[in-house]
C-alpha cells in the first residue's frame, strides 16, 4: 500500500481508502457479519482511511461501522464522517445541528475522536451558511478536541473554491468526477493545491456505473451515460477483463489525488481492489474504453 499526506490535515492516508456507505445497504441488502468482515479486510490490507456519514442508510452505516471498529485498535485507521445531511432531502447545516451531529456520530461509532468532519453535500444547503456558520461551528468542535480537521463535500466543482476562498477548510471530497467517464476534478486542482487542501476523490466506479452489475436503480445519471458505461463494461468483459478493475486502476493512477474512496460491503471486492491496484493497467484496453466513453466524457447530473 502506498500512503500520501492528505494536504494540510497532515494525515498520512492510504491512496486507496474505504467508503462505508455500502454498509448502510445503499447498493443492496447487506448481511451485517459480511459488512463487518469487509472493514476488517480493508484494514488488514493496509487501508487506513475510512469515510462514512450519518446519512448512509440513515445512520445504519455508522452503526455497523462502529461494530467493526470496536475490534480494531484505534491507531490503525483515520476516521472521517460528515454532518449536515440526514436524508434524501433532509439537510441542516445550522451550528446547533452539526455540533450535536458530531456527538451522535462519536456515540454511534464508539470512538472519542473523529479525524476529519466534513460538511456533507453542501450544494443542497446555503453555501454562505456553510461559510459563516457551519465551518466555524465545526472549528469550535475541533477546539474542544473531538475532531481533527474540517472538510467539505459535494458534486458540483465550483462549490469548493466558493467556500474555501471564504473560510479556512482542510480538505475537499469530490465524487464521480475523477473516473473513466469523468475527469473534471482536474479543473479545480490548481486552486485546491494552491490552498494545500487534502484531495479526496470518491466513487472511482462512478457509484456502480463502472461495474459488471451496473448502476443501482437510484443512480442519478441520465440514460446516455448509463448506456455508454454499460457498453464499456460489455467491451471489457468481451476482452476477458472487468471494467471495475480498469476503472479503479485509472482513478488510482493520478498522484495529485491523495486518496480514492471505493465502497463495498463484500470482502472479496476489497481484496480484488487492492490486488488490481498493484497490477499494471492494460493501456490498450484503456484507450478502447475511453473511446467508447468519449461521447459522454465529463457529462454529469
Catalytic, out of 3, 55, 56, 178: 56
User: For residue 111, what are the CA distances in angstroms to 63, 117, 293?
Assistant: 12, 13, 43
Of 15 and 20, nearer to ligand NAD (C-beta) is 20
Q: Is 22 in the site for ligand NAD (CB under 6 A)?
A: yes
Q: Pairing state of beta strands 171-175 and 259-263?
A: unpaired
Q: Is 269 in the site for ligand NAD (CB under 6 A)?
A: yes
Of 33 and 144, nearer to ligand NAD (C-beta) is 33
Judged by CB under 6 A, the chain residues 116 through 145 that form the site for ligand NAD are: 120-121
- The least CB distance from residue 160 to ligand NAD, in Å, is 12
Per-residue x/- mask for ligand NAD, residues 204 to 243, rule CB under 6 A?
xxxxx--x--------------------------------
Q: Is 81 in the site for ligand NAD (CB under 6 A)?
A: no
Q: Is 41 in the site for ligand NAD (CB under 6 A)?
A: no
Q: Is 272 in the site for ligand NAD (CB under 6 A)?
A: yes
Q: From CA 76, how far away is CA 55, in angstroms rounded? A: 24
CB 171 within 8 A of CB 7: yes
Q: From CA 92, how far away is CA 96, in angstroms rounded? A: 9
Give the binding-site size for ligand NAD (rule: CB under 6 A).
27
Inter-residue long-range contacts of 70-73, CB under 8 Å, 24+ positions, other chains counted:
70/110, 71/40, 72/39, 72/40, 72/43
Catalytic residue list contains 56:
yes
Q: From CA 279, how far away is CA 265, in angstroms rounded? A: 23
Q: Is 175 in the site for ligand NAD (CB under 6 A)?
A: yes
Number of residues assigned to the chain = 301
CB 260 within 8 A of CB 151: no
- The least CB distance from residue 211 to ligand NAD, in Å, is 4
128 CB-near residues (< 8 Å, 6+ apart):
none
Q: Give the binding range for ligand NAD (CB under 6 A) out of 100-108, 143-151, 162-170, 267-275.
A: 267-275
Q: What is the largest CA-CA distance in the chain?
A: 55
Q: From CA 257, how far away is CA 173, in angstroms rounded? A: 10
> Which residues are at the interface with ligand NAD (CB under 6 A)?
19-22, 27, 51, 120-121, 153, 173, 175, 202-208, 211, 244, 261-264, 269, 272-273
Residues belonging to the active site: 56
Amino acid at each position: 500500500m502506498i500512503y500520501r499526506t492528505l494536504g494540510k490535515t497532515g494525515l498520512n492516508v492510504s491512496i486507496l481508502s474505504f467508503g462505508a456507505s455500502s454498509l448502510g445497504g445503499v447498493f443492496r441488502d447487506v448481511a451485517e457479519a459480511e459488512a463487518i468482515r469487509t472493514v476488517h479486510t480493508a484494514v488488514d490490507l493496509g487501508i487506513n482511511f475510512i469515510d462514512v456519514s450519518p446519512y448512509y442508510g440513515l445512520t445504519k452505516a455508522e452503526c455497523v461501522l462502529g461494530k467493526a471498529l470496536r475490534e480494531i485498535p484505534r491507531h490503525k485507521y483515520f476516521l472521517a464522517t460528515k454532518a449536515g445531511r440526514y436524508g434524501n432531502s433532509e439537510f441542516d447545516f445550522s451550528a446547533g445541528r452539526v455540533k450535536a451531529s458530531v456527538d451522535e456520530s462519536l456515540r454511534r461509532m464508539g470512538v472519542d475522536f473523529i479525524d476529519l468532519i466534513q460538511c456533507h453535500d453542501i450544494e443542497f444547503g446555503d453555501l454562505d451558511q456553510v461559510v459563516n456558520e457551519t465551518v466555524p461551528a465545526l472549528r469550535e468542535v475541533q477546539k474542544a478536541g473531538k475532531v481533527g480537521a474540517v472538510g467539505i463535500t459535494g458534486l458540483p466543482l465550483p462549490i469548493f473554491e466558493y467556500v474555501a476562498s471564504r473560510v479556512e477548510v482542510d480538505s475537499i471530497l469530490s465524487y464521480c468526477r475523477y473516473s473513466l467517464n469523468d475527469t473534471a476534478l482536474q479543473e479545480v486542482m490548481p486552486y485546491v493545491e494552491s490552498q494545500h487542501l487534502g484531495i479526496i476523490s470518491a466513487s472511482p466506479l462512478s457509484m456502480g456505473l463502472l461495474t459488471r452489475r451496473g448502476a443501482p436503480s437510484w443512480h442519478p445519471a441520465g440514460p446516455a451515460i448509463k448506456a455508454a458505461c454499460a457498453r464499456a463494461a460489455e467491451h471489457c468483459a468481451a476482452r476477458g477483463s472487468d471494467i471495475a478493475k480498469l476503472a479503479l486502476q485509472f482513478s488510482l493512477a493520478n498522484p495529485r489525488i491523495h486518496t480514492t474512496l471505493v465502497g463495498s460491503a463484500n470482502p472479496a471486492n476489497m481484496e480484488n481492489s487492492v490486488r488490481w491496484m498493484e497490477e499494471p493497467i492494460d493501456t490498450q484496453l484503456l484507450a478502447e474504453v475511453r473511446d467508447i466513453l468519449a461521447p459522454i466524457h465529463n457529462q454529469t447530473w
